[in-house]
């Protein structure tokens, strides 16, 4: 009983605090704000790629993903408006299709790095076909895009692989700068190695599966950008489409080196 009296008196007190005495103000019926169906944000128009015959171009490439750490790398690249090339392991594409899609939507080049990270240079015809077609399929399923570049794991190639890549429409992309980031899981070491070795026209190899390497990327980009470097995808580095079967290590001269 005492409880009920207390409740009533508290309510009475509360009512004296309301601004308009005796007047029951209907709760403001907030009209739902008229929200137009938000148009899907259009992908920002791609700026024309720089002319790497004149600009100090560098191609950052990331192998073996996608993995959890790839998401952080994509944020880092987005924040700096830098595009890179991802050499994707097929079984990881099947595990993280959403990251493959994100790579593509951000304007990065997505490429083949075999299905199981196999040594393709020593593999049979059947094994090579299996590794490559399964990866192409996994990337296509994730993103709708079929890669035109292959980086053979370990840089291990052969005449047989060259012939098959020519038939499958895949150019072979190797690299010029290797900071051995898989061995040295040390951010400062990776930064130093890449910053020291970078030259215009080079292709830098790193691994987005190692968080230590991902953490090296901001400084690498910021330092090299301050030196006038621009970051391009591998096809942009060579000024166009690459020839299937052919091996590419770095841009050799000022002349365009891609196919028209
Ligand atoms: Zn690899």
pLDDT in tens, 25-82: 555 555 555 555 555 555 556 678 899 999 999 999 999 999 999 999 999 999 999 9
Looking at residue 20, what is its pLDDT?
45
For the chain, list the domains and their CATH numbers: 56-248 (3.20.20.370)
CA of 63 to the centre of ligand 1 (A): 5
pLDDT over 90 at 173, yes or no: yes
Distance 205 CA to ligand 1 centre (A): 9
Whole-number pLDDT of residue 1: 44
Higher pLDDT, 103 or 258: 103
Which of the residues 96, 113, 207, 210 is marked catalytic?
A: 207
Indicate if 63 belongs to the active site.
Answer: yes
* Higher per-residue confidence, 218 vs 3: 218
- CB 123 within 8 Å of CB 132: no
Dist. CA 189–CA 59, nearest whole Å: 20
The 10s digit of each residue's pLDDT in 195-224 is: 999 999 999 999 999 999 999 999 999 999
**Inter-residue contact 188 to 149 (CB < 8 Å):** no
- pLDDT band for position 110 (50/70/90)? very high
Question: Does the global pTM surpass 0.85?
Answer: no
DSSP state of 101: H
Q: Which backbone phi and psi does 218 adopt, to 5 degrees?
A: -55, -45
* pLDDT at res. 16: 43
Give pLDDT tens digits for 79-93: 999 999 999 999 999
- Could you report the per-residue pLDDT of 123-144, keeping only the tens digit for each? 999 999 999 999 999 999 999 9
- Residue 105 burial class via C-beta count within 10 angstroms: exposed 0-12, middle 13-18, buried 19 and up: exposed
Angle at 171 between CA 53 and CA 100, to 5 degrees: 95
Ligand 1 centroid to residue 75 C-alpha, Å: 22
pLDDT of residue 13: 46
Catalytic entry in 63, 112, 181, 208: 63
* Distance between Cα 132 and ligand 1 center (Å): 14
Share of residues in the chain with pLDDT > 70 (%):
79
Distance 65 CA to ligand 1 centre (A): 9
Weakest-pLDDT range from 6-10, 100-104, 200-204: 6-10
Element (H, E) at 142: helix 125-143
The mean predicted confidence, pLDDT, of the chain is: 88
Angle between helix 68-79 and helix 97-105 axes, rounded to 10 deg: 10
Please give the distance, rounded to the nearest whole angstrom, from the Cα atom of residue 238 to the centre of ligand 1.
22
Task: Give the model's confidence band at 94: pLDDT under 50 very low, under 70 low, under 90 confident, else very high.
Answer: very high
Measure CA 167 to chain center: 27
**Cα(240) to centroid(ligand 1), Å:** 24
Task: State whether the Cα torsion 127-128-129-132 is positive or negative.
Answer: positive
Q: What is the 160 CA–ligand 1 centroid distance (Å)?
A: 20
Has 210 been annotated as catalytic?
no
Q: How far apart are CA 214 and CA 64, in angstroms?
A: 13
pLDDT at 252: 83
């Amino acid at each position: 009983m005492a409880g009920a009296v207390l409740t009533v008196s508290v309510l009475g007190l509360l009512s004296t605090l309301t601004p308009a005495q005796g007047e029951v103000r209907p709760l403001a019926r907030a009209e739902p704000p008229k929200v137009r169906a938000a148009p899907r944000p259009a992908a920002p128009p791609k700026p024309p790629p720089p002319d790497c015959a004149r600009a100090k171009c560098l191609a950052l490439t990331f192998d073996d993903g996608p993995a959890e750490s790839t998401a952080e790398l994509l944020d880092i690249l987005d924040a700096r408006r830098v595009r890179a090339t991802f050499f994707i392991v097929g079984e990881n594409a099947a595990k993280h299709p959403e990251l493959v899609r994100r790579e593509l939507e951000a304007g990065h080049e997505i490429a083949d790095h075999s299905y199981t990270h196999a040594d393709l240079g020593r593999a049979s015809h059947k094994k090579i076909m299996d590794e490559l077609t399964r990866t192409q399929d996994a990337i296509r399923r994730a993103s709708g895009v079929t890669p035109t570049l292959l980086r053979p794991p370990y840089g291990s190639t052969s005449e047989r692989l060259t012939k098959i890549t020519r038939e499958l429409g895949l150019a072979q992309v190797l690299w010029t700068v290797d900071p051995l980031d898989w061995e040295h899981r040390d951010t400062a070491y990776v930064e130093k190695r890449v910053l020291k070795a970078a030259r215009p026209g080079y292709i830098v190899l790193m691994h987005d599966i190692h968080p230590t390497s991902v953490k090296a990327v901001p400084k690498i980009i910021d330092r090299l950008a301050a030196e006038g470097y621009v970051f391009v995808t591998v096809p942009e580095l060579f000024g166009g489409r690459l020839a299937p079967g052919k091996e590419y290590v770095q841009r050799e001269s000022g002349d365009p080196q891609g196919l028209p």
